[in-house]
DNA sequence: CCCAAAATCATCCGTTCGGATGACGCGCGT
DNA sequence: ACGCGCGTCATCCGAACGGATGATTTTGGG
């Protein structure tokens, strides 16, 4: 910005000097002062426009348009409900895998325990949730924000 | 923008006319042509700066800021997937009730059909979804946006 | 009216699930 | 050392589920 003003000043000075140098020649050549004035006007108008552009190039009006977005809704487990229901980590893990659509056998293989153990965990978590079926347990688990 | 250019042109014309009018008086008053030129330069430079400012004053930068909203994300069924999978309305209804945690028997009572019919619908929708268990069907159904 | 799709109901059979119950080991805090 | 919570594994049994298949009725569009 300041650089531009300085440059403009220098250019203006140089131009004025140049104009004064050729001024007499124009006069000698019997050209009217009008042409001289027009030339000066054109040159300085151009310079002015250029300077104006330079001065304001970075003064943009920033328009912030806020757009509502569906939001990824990051899941946060309701630990208080987990605690109040007395659901253990293992039970919660099994519940998550049930929600993922795995069978007891698949869950057993996934977590390296016997299918019987998975059944025990699931039965306990069903009991704590008051669910009679795994689909119901999943539904309740999601409702209570125990699982995503 | 165009309005400004036009206005500038008119002003310039008027100024030139005005200058020409007073030009002779200045000459009569024995003032040098340098002063006249300086005046013209100053006026047109100002005009140019003003025009430059007008030309660029309204360059707006639109910044789109995405605002995450807890958004209840109103569920919209992906009908295209429903169609491409060839899932019928009744099958979809049964799938929803399965996702709600109901047993086949409860679903049968809810929609006033026999449990066998519910089993048929569920079997078909499992087949179309490539699911082997109802929990898996629910998971896939939610993933594919067939059910909320 | 006729056809195709959808909906309904059924039977058989094997698998999975859920409930009830008992038992064992491990870590932790009193 | 003892009790307790947790995780683990097991057995038995009935209920629920899923697959395969066949049949009938209803419905919507050409």
**Which of B51, B71, B99 comes nearest A135 by C-beta?**
B99
Q: Is the pLDDT of residue A92 over 70?
A: yes
Q: Which stretches of B29-145 are DSSP H helices? A: 33-56, 79-85, 89-99, 104-111, 115-129, 134-143
Q: What is the mean pLDDT of residues B103-119?
A: 97
Matching residue, tokens 């909320």: B148
Q: What are phi and psi of A64, to 5 degrees?
A: -95, 115
- Does the structure show a pLDDT above 60 at A105? yes
Record the tokens describing residue A34, joined without a space. 């009008």
- pLDDT at res. A8: 53
Higher pLDDT, A77 or A17: A77
CB-CB under 8 Å, A40 with B45 = no
- Mean pLDDT score of chain A, rounded to an integer? 80
CA–CA dist B43, A66 (Å, integer): 44
Tell me whether A34 touches chain B (CB under 8 Å): yes
| Percent with pLDDT over 90 in chain A | 50
pLDDT at A35 over 90: no
Packing angle of the helix pair A115-129, A134-143 (nearest 10 deg): 50
Residue A81 has pLDDT above 60, yes or no: yes
Mean confidence (pLDDT) of chain B: 80
- pTM beyond cutoff 0.85: no
Determine which of A13, A48, A58, A100 to mutate to test the interface with B (most B C-beta atoms within 10 Å): A48
- Which residues lie below 8 Å from residue A75, measured CB to CB, with a gap of 6+? A145, A148
pLDDT > 90? residue B103? yes
CB < 7 A contacts with chain C (nucleic strand): A 103-105, 119-120, 122-123, 126-127, 132-134, 137; B 86, 88-91, 111, 113-114, 116-117, 119-121, 133
Q: Residues A106, A96, B140, B110: is their CA dihedral positive or negative?
A: positive
**Listed residue (A109, A133, A113, A114) closest to A123, CA to CA:** A133
In whole angstroms, what is the distance from residue A33 CA to residue B78 CA? 79
Chain D, protein-covered positions (CB within 7 A):
5-11, 16-22
Residue A137's pLDDT is what?
98
Cα–Cα nearest to A97, from B39, B51, B135:
B135
For residue B132, pLDDT over 90 is answered with yes
Of the two residues A15 and A102, the one the predictor is more confident about is A102
- Portion of chain A with pLDDT greater than 70, in percent: 59
Q: Does the pLDDT of residue B110 top 60, yes or no?
A: yes
Point out the nucleotide closest to B93 (alpha carbon to C1′).
C7
Question: Nearest residue to nucleotide C10 when comparing alpha carbons to its C1'?
Answer: B116
- Residue with more model confidence, A61 or A126: A126
Q: What's the pLDDT band for B5 if we cut at 50, 70, 90? A: low
Which A residues in the span 59-118 are in contact with B, Cβ-Cβ below 8 Å?
59-73, 98-103
- Low-confidence winner among A121-125, A143-147, B51-55 (lowest mean pLDDT): B51-55
In the numeric block, which tokens belong to residue A148? Answer: 């995503």
- What is the rounded CA–CA span in Å between residue A127 and residue A76? 23
Check whether A4 has a pLDDT greater than 70.
no
pLDDT in tens, A19-30: 566 565 555 565
Q: How far is B27 from chain A (nearest CA, A)?
A: 10
Whether the pLDDT of residue B93 is over 80: the answer is: yes
Paired tokens of A39: 């030339």
pLDDT at A22: 53
Task: For residues A49 and B54, give the distance between their C-alpha atoms in angstroms, rounded to a whole number.
Answer: 10
pLDDT, residue B122, reads 98
Residues B32 and A36: beta-carbon distance below 8 Å: no
Cα dihedral angle (B31, B33, B36, B37), rounded to 10 degrees?
Answer: -160
Question: Looking at beta carbons, which residues of chain B come within 8 Å of A42?
Answer: 44
B126 CB less than 7 Å from any atom of strand D: yes
What percent of chain B clears pLDDT 90, i.e. is strictly above it? 50
**Which residue is closest, via its CA, to the C1' of C6?**
B88
Q: Which of B42, B65, B135 sits opposite A138 (nearest CB)?
A: B135
A97 to each of A27, A77, A107, B96, how far by Cα in Å?
A: 97, 16, 7, 20
Quick check: A77 and A146 in contact, CB under 8 A?
Answer: yes
Output b/e per residue, A37-70; b: 16+ Cβ within 10 A.
Answer: bebbbebbbebbbbbbbbbbeeeeeeeeeeeeee
């Amino acid at each position: 910005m300041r650089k531009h003003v300085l440059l403009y000043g220098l250019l203006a000075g140089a131009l004025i000097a140049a104009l004064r140098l050729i001024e007499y020649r124009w006069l000698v050549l019997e050209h009217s002062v009008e042409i001289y004035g027009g030339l000066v006007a054109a040159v300085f108008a151009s310079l002015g426009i250029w300077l104006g552009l330079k001065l304001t190039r970075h003064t943009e009006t920033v328009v912030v348009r806020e757009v509502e977005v569906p939001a990824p809704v990051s899941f946060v487990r309701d630990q208080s409900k987990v605690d109040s229901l007395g659901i253990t980590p293992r039970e919660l893990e099994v519940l998550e895998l049930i929600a993922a659509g795995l069978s007891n056998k698949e869950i057993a293989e996934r977590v390296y325990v016997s299918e019987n153990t998975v059944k025990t965990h699931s039965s306990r978590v069903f009991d704590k949730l008051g669910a009679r079926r795994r689909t119901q347990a999943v539904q309740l688990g999601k409702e209570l924000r125990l699982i995503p």
